[in-house]
Structures are given as structure tokens and as C-alpha cells.
Amino acid sequence: MEADYVIVGAGSAGCAMAYRLGEAGRSVIVIEHGGSDAGPFIQMPAALSYPMNMPAYDWGYMSEPEPHLGGRKLVVPRGKVIGGSSSINGMIYVRGHARDFDHWAEQGAAGWAYADVLPYYKRMEHWHAGLHGGDPDWRGKDGPLHVTRGPRKNPLTRAFVEAGAQAGYELTDDYNGEKQEGFGPFDSTIWRGRRWSAANAYLRPALKRDNVTLVRGLVSKVVIEEGRATGVEMIRRGATEVVRARAEVILAASSINSPKLLMLSGIGPGAHLREHGIEVVADRPGVGRNLQDHLELYIQQAAIKPVSLYRYWNLIGKGVIGAQWLFTRTGLGASNQFESAGFIRSRAGVEYPDIQFHFLPIAVRYDGKVAAEGHGFQAHVGPMRSVSRGEVTLRSADPNDAPRILFNYMSHESDWEDFRTCIRLTREIFAQPAFDEFRGREIQPGADAQSDEALDAFIREHAESAYHPCGTCRMGAADDPTAVVDPECRVIGVEGLRVADSSIFPRITNGNLNAPSIMTGEKAADHILGRRLPASNVEPWVHPEWRTAQR
């Protein structure tokens, strides 16, 4: 088995690269450990809580006990299936704020400023909401990735945006366009009623070409000969095989598995590798470091009218929704139910939003456990730019062993201040007149939790990951000792090896990570092919009074 390019991981970035490299006439082998994405659990948008809890589709990783969250171990779902995490995620499409990418460039990722990445966002998108307002000039019209909006029929979904305006915040018709800040409709990767994953958008069309092949197997290490990556070792049906790359090996195995593979291949912190008996090929202390994520809380409110999705939360209701979706690809099953969004700034002096809201017209947890109270609604809320950093390290030199994942969540006092602010600002929004006809009692944190101490106890017990890990193979200048890849995504210190997925993000972006992960694959493909889309010169909206006003 041999090709010009061997891509490890058929996830968000890997599928995009396979498509673009294949389109350019290169031969590509994509290696994926997971299996098929067929069936309603993945393809039906409303079933999103199922695949991320199913061993068939998820690597099943857990964090180490988190010292600042009372020693809780948090689940770390990562897609083990074609499409990767785009096949098990919430299908929410957020590019990130323009300033996120400008910050990347300032941190040494030259050529990754907003002006550089916007053309790739436009190339990958096929945006369908242009008829309903928004910023068509900022969006793509004919890319492989269909982006749509939910019908927003539920009155709670509309009340949330109205309440944001009543609280004095901006409205935005398109947070992925010129103006992220404010309240408005969510974009999603749903098309014709089904999940539009990277597998549906990129991999299936790529595999129709003779020059792109998908192989199932567990990659155990990169083969490096005289300082150059020449292929990968793969375990398939119990036997070890070598897949050779004539040009390059590209890791797109996730922010958890890409650093693990680098370390198993001898690229990483030298002392740590030697502890596990691994010969050091390139001593890169940044491999596995700089781990970041978004934490969030579910602020839940009871509803006094039966308008929430709770009425369908029974076997008959789910059966009716499922049947309608199976036969027509329409109805509640065709939406992820995240249809209203908010991006706000926590205080004056913050230049661009650092808090995100996901509104849901039911009081329910990600794992599908519903509030006992019955009808209700909730906002998922959390700070976007925590200064806490964790790490991914090897548990052993055995490729079958899960790595050690320590996020080190809430390790700075500013994290606690930010979260308390999130709770209090959410309560203020729920208290607006738009919710008067619906609002019952606060389910959680509960009316008694008012003091800093009470809120901190709630945060410690209830903060959950938003499942946005990134940053563990940080992109930076080639002479930066803590960087892992240069701005061309090339691993520093090894020839013929690149990493392109969310692990290369210097800092986490604003919002959900699927869109920037796919964009990374799109842009990395052009770096590999030695070409570049011309930079954009548009200027994003920033609140004119951000220095002095919070809203």
C-alpha cells in the first residue's frame, strides 16, 4: 500500500484534505480506525446525544480526575467513525471571531489571520440561509459543506433572542458574517434533514475518484527514516502493516490522538518519551501541551406553559418523531434543536465576545437525561477564552492504551470570576419580559444559589465540557521551541510530516470547533499543494464602545 499522501484520520480536517488533494490529482490513502456512519443515530440530527455515548462511534476517552472540579473525571468524546467528531457532534457551525485568527497570526502562525482564513471559509461553505437575511457577501455559495438554519418555530427559541435585545444586547442576523456579537439564529451543518458531516460533504465525493482510498486500521506510529517520515505502521486484523507515503504523512487524528501518535513516533518532550522507552527522534516539548477546551453550565428554568420539547420526551413522542424523519427527513428529527445563539462580552474593556450561549427549548443534559420537573428551557453558557491549560501525555508505549488527558480546568481565579459572571448574565436574560409568559422557577443553579461561594460550589459540581479540545500540537514560528508545527503545518524537526486538525490551534476559537477544524484541512491542503487563495480585505464589526461598555 502506497500513495503520494497518507492521511491518518477521516475526521473533519482529514476528509477535507482527502477531497482537495484528490481533486488536484494526487493519490491519497486515508486511514481510519472507526467504522461506518450509516444509520439513524448519526444521520438524524435530533438523535445527537446517542452517537457521542456509543462505543461503536466514540473513542471512549475520559479525563484524569480534575483537581479544581472536585476530582471529577469528565468524558472526552472523540469520533471513531468516518467523519470523525463531525459525525457525533451537535452540528453547530461557528467560524470563530475574526480576532481569534488575528491572534493566531500574532502568536507566530503567519498567514493565518482572519484575512487569510476567510477565503477558505467561503470556499468550503454552501450557505442556504441567504434568502432570510444574513451576510451573503461574507459567505460561500457553492462549497461542499451545506450550512443551514433551523425553522425556529418554537416560541421559546424566539423569546431568547428577544430577551437578549430587551437586556440591551446587540442583535445579529449572521454571527458567521460581519458581526458575531449579539443574539440571533444558529447555523448548523444539516442538509435536507440529515447531518452534513465531513464524511458526507468531503469523503464520499473524494472516494468516487480512483486516486483516493479509505483503509480501516489503527495507526500505531509514523515510520521515520533518516529524519523523514516515509509512512505509517498500522495494525489491521491483528497484523502490523506499513503504509508508505511517497510525498508526505499527514496526521489529522484529533487534538487527543495526533499528539499521542507523534509521541509514539519519538516526537515530543524528550524526558517523557524516554520514561516510556521511546527513542527520541525530535525533542519537541510542546507536543501534548497547551490543551484547551470550553467548559459550560446548563442554566435551567422551568416553564409554566407546555411549549417545550418535553412533551415528546417519551417513547411514543420519540417514535413519532423518528418515524416522520425516517420517511420524510422532516419534522423535529431534522433539527439539532439548537436554533438560537448569543455571543456577548463579559465586561467593558473586552474587545470581542468572550461568552457564548446555546439556547435549547427543553431542560435536558447532553447525555439525554431530562429534568424531572417537566417543561423547561435552558441556556448552555461558558467563557470562551479561559487561561487554563492542560496536557495530553502517554500512559504507556502501547498504541492500544488511551492517553492521559488532564485539562486542568478552572485552575485560574479568573475562570471562577468569568463563570459567576456567565450565570448572573444568563439569569438577567431569563428575567426579561420576553420570558414572562413562560418562566417558572429556576431549576438550576436554583434561587438559593446567589453568593459567590454557592455559585462556585455549583460550578465545581456541574461544569461540563463543551467537547472542544484543541491546541496540543500548537502552530507557531519555526524557531519557537514550544511550537510543534510551522505555519505550513509541517512538524518542526522532521521532514515529510504534517499535522492538520484542531490540535494546531494556537488558541481556542470563539464557539464550536468543527468549522475551524474543516477550514484547517482546507487551508492545509493548499499549503501542501503550494498554492494560496488571495487574502480578503473585509473588516469585521467590533462594538464601537467596547472599551467603556459591556453592551
Q: By the 8 A CB rule, do 348 and 549 touch?
A: yes
Question: CA 88, CA 34: separation in Å to the nearest integer?
Answer: 12
Q: By the 8 A CB rule, do 292 and 304 touch?
A: no
H/E element holding 264? helix 254-264
Question: CA 453, CA 437: separation in Å to the nearest integer?
Answer: 31
Residues 6+ apart with CB under 8 A from 319: none
Question: CA 75, CA 529: separation in Å to the nearest integer?
Answer: 37
> Could you write out the DSSP letters of every residue in 491-527?
BTTSBTEEE-SGGG-SS--SS-SHHHHHHHHHHHHHH
Question: CA 193, CA 328: separation in Å to the nearest integer?
Answer: 8
Beta strands in 189-320 (DSSP E): 190-191, 194-195, 212-216, 218-225, 228-236, 239-251, 267-268, 282-283, 295-303
Residue 431 burial (C-beta neighbours within 10 Å; 0-12, 13-18, 19+): middle
Q: Is 272 an active-site residue?
A: no
Residues 6+ apart with CB under 8 A from 503: 254, 255, 258, 259, 470, 471, 472, 473, 474, 484
Helix/strand/coil percentages in the chain, nearest 5 = 30, 25, 45
Q: Is 364 helix (H, G, I), strand (E, B) or coil?
A: strand
Q: By the 8 A CB rule, do 299 and 381 touch?
A: yes
**Which residue out of 97, 380, 468, 543 is catalytically annotated?**
468
Which of 124, 137, 126 lies closest to 174 in space, CA to CA? 137
Length of the chain: 551
Residue 219 assigned to a binding site: yes
Residue 75 assigned to a binding site: no
Cα three-residue angle 407-464-77, rounded to 5 degrees: 70
The one-letter amino acid code at 370 reads V
Question: CA 486, CA 335: separation in Å to the nearest integer?
Answer: 39
The one-letter amino acid code at 74 reads L
The number of C-alpha atoms within 13 Å of 313 and in the hemisphere containing its C-beta is 20
Given phi > 0 = left and psi -120 to 50 = alpha, else beta, which region is 242? beta
Q: By the 8 A CB rule, do 538 and 118 touch?
A: yes
What sections of 347-504 are H helices per DSSP? 413-430, 452-462
Residues 6+ apart with CB under 8 A from 182: 164, 169, 170, 171, 172, 175, 342, 343, 344
Give the three cell numbers for residue 106.
500574532
List, by residue number, the catalytic residues: 468
Known binding-site residue numbers for FAD = 81, 219
